């Protein structure tokens, strides 16, 4: 199992999105995602997110809000526990990312981007200001097969 973080940094009604188009053998290639990454030994989710955000963007996250825990189950990859955050306060200057192209996208336009199907689910929960949630997403290949919100099945 692996632990990761993902954050949607918001500014003026836009999310900072990362188009994954530079990293070789990237399971997220061709998709838009928030910023974040894999936790290292001894890191809390907040430690990881601050480090990853700075490495990927040059931004220092100042007020991160934990929004949920997303469990990814896949027939291709090991189970992943992703700690999901939003952030409205940050400092620093945006710099190019080695993993892809960073762009501020209007929040209302994000669901139309090439995204994982499960990402569309948790992005809708963020938009609805859903309280902290646990979401389990079960994939077969790139296809979302099942989803569970707080232990209850969701229709797909």
pLDDT value of position 53: 98
Domain ranges of the chain: 2-153
| Model pLDDT for residues 82-91, shown as the tens digit of each residue | 999 999 999 9
Q: What percent of the chain has pLDDT over 90?
A: 96
Query: What is the widest separation between alpha-carbon atoms in the chain?
Result: 42
pLDDT value of position 25: 87
**Could you tell me the pLDDT band of residue 145, with boundaries at 50, 70 and 90?**
very high
Distances (CA, A) of 41 to 2, 38, 44, 48, 69: 11, 10, 9, 10, 19
| Model pLDDT for residues 8-47, shown as the tens digit of each residue | 999 999 999 999 999 888 889 999 999 999 999 999 999 9
Q: Please state which architecture CATH assigns to domain 2-153.
A: Alpha-Beta Complex (3.90)
Q: Are the beta carbons of 37 and 54 closer than 8 angstroms?
A: no
Nearest in space to 137 (alpha carbons), one of 95, 84, 61, 58? 84
The chain-wide mean pLDDT, for the chain, equals: 97
Nearest in space to 128 (alpha carbons), one of 143, 149, 114? 149
| Model pLDDT for residues 54-85, shown as the tens digit of each residue | 999 999 999 999 999 999 999 999 999 999 99
Distances (CA, A) of 5 to 70, 85, 155: 10, 8, 26
Beta strand 59-74 with 2-11 is: unpaired
Question: What torsion, rounded to 10 degrees, do the Cα atoms 58, 62, 68, 70 define?
Answer: 20
| Model pLDDT for residues 86-115, shown as the tens digit of each residue | 999 999 999 999 999 999 999 999 999 999
């Amino acid at each position: 199992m692996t632990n990761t973080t993902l954050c949607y940094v918001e500014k003026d009604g836009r999310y900072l999105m990362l188009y994954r188009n530079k990293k070789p053998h990237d399971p997220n290639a061709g998709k838009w995602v928030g910023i974040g990454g894999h936790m290292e030994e001894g890191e809390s989710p907040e430690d990881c997110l601050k480090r990853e955000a700075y490495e990927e963007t040059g931004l220092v996250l100042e007020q991160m809000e934990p929004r949920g825990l997303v469990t990814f189950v896949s027939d291709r990859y090991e189970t992943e526990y992703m700690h999901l955050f939003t952030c409205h306060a940050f400092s620093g200057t945006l710099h190019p990312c080695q993993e892809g192209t960073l762009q501020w996208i209007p929040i209302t336009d994000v669901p139309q981007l090439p995204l994982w199907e499960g990402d569309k689910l948790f992005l809708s929960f963020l938009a609805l200001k859903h309280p902290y949630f646990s979401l389990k997403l079960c994939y077969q290949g790139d296809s979302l097969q099942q989803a569970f919100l707080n232990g209850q099945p969701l229709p797909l």
